[in-house]
Amino acid sequence: MFNKLISLIKGKSDPAAEAVRIPFGRYSDNNKTVAKGSRWTEADNLFKDKKYMESINAFFDYLKDDEQKNVNFSGDNERFSFEFYQGSKVVRGRIENGLLSAEVKLAKMAQPSVPVMRRLLEMNFALYYSRYALRENELCMRFDTNMETANPSKLYYGLKELAIKSDKQDDLLVQDFSFLERLDQEHIYEIPDSEKQVKHEAMQTWITETLDKIATVDADKFSGGICYLLLALVYRIDFLIAPEGQLLNDLEKISGIYFKKDDRQMVEKNRDMIEEFKKLRDKPKEEVFKNLFRSRYTFSIVTPQPHKTIADAINEANQNMLWYRDNSHEYFANKIIEYGLTYCQYSYSLPKPISQLIEILMQVNYPEYFKALGYTQPLYMPVANKFEQDVIAGRIRQIQNQWRQKYPLMNFNTDQIAYNSLLRFNQSFTNQIELLNLNNE
């Protein structure tokens, strides 16, 4: 009883506090507080009452992530201006004479180019709300709507398309057409070279370790396990390294090799993924460094899913892990468990408490990486096979308390976590995430 009291006190004294806090994983806009959620309802009701400017104010307040500081807006009943961030891009807009317009700069084109304009013309056909445009020598994207039709849903999906497409296309255009120049990059946060170095070394180490492990088993008999290792590696780099730009596109390409619907066997897909990882490992350090920076986001590039979808992914991975566990392939077993959660983080817009729990799991599994980044509180010491049980339990309680108002039924049972081995910890930890109740009522 005394130990539990001490543990509870530790949980309330912010056990997650660290000298350094680095953001991990893809941004999710599935993290609105109850108060923010009510602003959407308010915006919708105001629009139905034809109070358009008040509706717009409520809508942009809903979009604003106070932690990210991603949205700025101001105005009155006559004029209104706004700007928000999406990765490497800034979307700027205004309301004037009953028209809402938004624009984002893609790249500077000093001389006219038929291939570039043809590319943009072809891509226009895939857009629903926005369009590519040319303003003097600047390539842009635009979105416009009359105030009478600017309901919150149209604004959300229209601005989301504009933001996400522009954030991706500026990198691809500059990559494919070397004469184009980047624009509007001043808002990007550069990270220290020391952090870039740690991330680069970790990526190199993880790729080499994974490929070396794959080389020790039969490519045909272990094709399923090899595929799990490769995909888990994609999602680990995506979550822990958090690359941007071309590096992010490279990861998406590797993941897409497996999920592309074709008739090729898994052995072939594994071989292609391995080759792409070798290319990624061989990239010059300077090129990798260019794609390591921090950005602010307003929209998630993936969509939310019911918790059952997440639970099913965890359960399937944990079931597929059993053969490897029972046949003494612990390395494979741990990575398969990791895959179940990180696949969800990569593929879906997750509720913030799930992403925070994933960070705990990753800090347990990769303590040396977190130590190199400057984290001072280890959660697991591999050599001694020792877990900081009180700290882990305290951080979980902190997450639950932080999100209690939005998820009152969320109950992660810390008493069910097993600490006798890393594999048992991973399995029991993910089982508890699978069982979470994230209903709002």
Count the domains in the chain: 1
**Residue 3, pLDDT above cutoff 50:** no
Under the banding of pLDDT at 50, 70 and 90, the label for residue 1 is very low
pLDDT in tens, 180-221: 888 777 777 889 999 999 999 999 999 999 999 999 999 999
- 128 part of a folded domain: no
Please tell me the pTM assigned to this model. Answer: 0.89
- 343 part of a folded domain: yes
Query: Measuring CA to CA, how many Å separate 192 from each of 195, 196, 262, 270, 292?
Result: 5, 6, 42, 35, 10
Structure tokens at 72: 């700025």
Under the banding of pLDDT at 50, 70 and 90, the label for residue 9 is very low
- 308 part of a folded domain: yes
Under the banding of pLDDT at 50, 70 and 90, the label for residue 18 is low
* Confidence at residue 431, expressed as pLDDT on a 0 to 100 scale: 97
Can you tell me the distance from the alpha carbon of 315 to that of 321, in angstroms, rounded to the nearest whole number? 10
Domain that holds residue 11: 1-29+295-441
* Confidence at residue 4, expressed as pLDDT on a 0 to 100 scale: 45
Mean pLDDT, the chain, rounded, equals 91
* Confidence at residue 171, expressed as pLDDT on a 0 to 100 scale: 77
Look up residue 368 and give its amino acid: E
- 277 part of a folded domain: no
- 361 part of a folded domain: yes
- Sequence-ordered alpha helix ranges (H) in 282-388: 285-290, 307-326, 330-347, 352-365, 367-373
- 23 part of a folded domain: yes
- 376 part of a folded domain: yes
* Confidence at residue 90, expressed as pLDDT on a 0 to 100 scale: 93
Average pLDDT over residues 55-65: 94
Structure tokens at 308: 């059952």
Sign of CA dihedral 431, 432, 435, 436: negative
pLDDT in tens, 223-250: 999 999 999 999 999 999 999 888 998 9
Average pLDDT over residues 3-16: 45
* Confidence at residue 67, expressed as pLDDT on a 0 to 100 scale: 84
Share of the chain above pLDDT 70, in %: 95
Residue in 380, 377, 381, 372 with CA at minimum distance from that of residue 429: 380
* Confidence at residue 17, expressed as pLDDT on a 0 to 100 scale: 55
Average pLDDT over residues 134-160: 93
84: phi then psi, degrees, rounded to nearest 5: -150, 160
SS3 73: strand
Look up residue 38 and give its amino acid: S
> Are 340 and 316 contacting, i.e. CB atoms less than 8 angstroms apart?
yes
Average pLDDT over residues 366-374: 96
pLDDT in tens, 247-283: 998 999 999 999 988 889 999 999 999 999 999 999 9
- 179 part of a folded domain: no
Exposed e or buried b per residue across 244-282, where buried means at least 16 C-beta atoms within 10 angstroms of its C-beta: bbbbbebbeebbebbeeeeeeeeeebbbbbbebbeebee
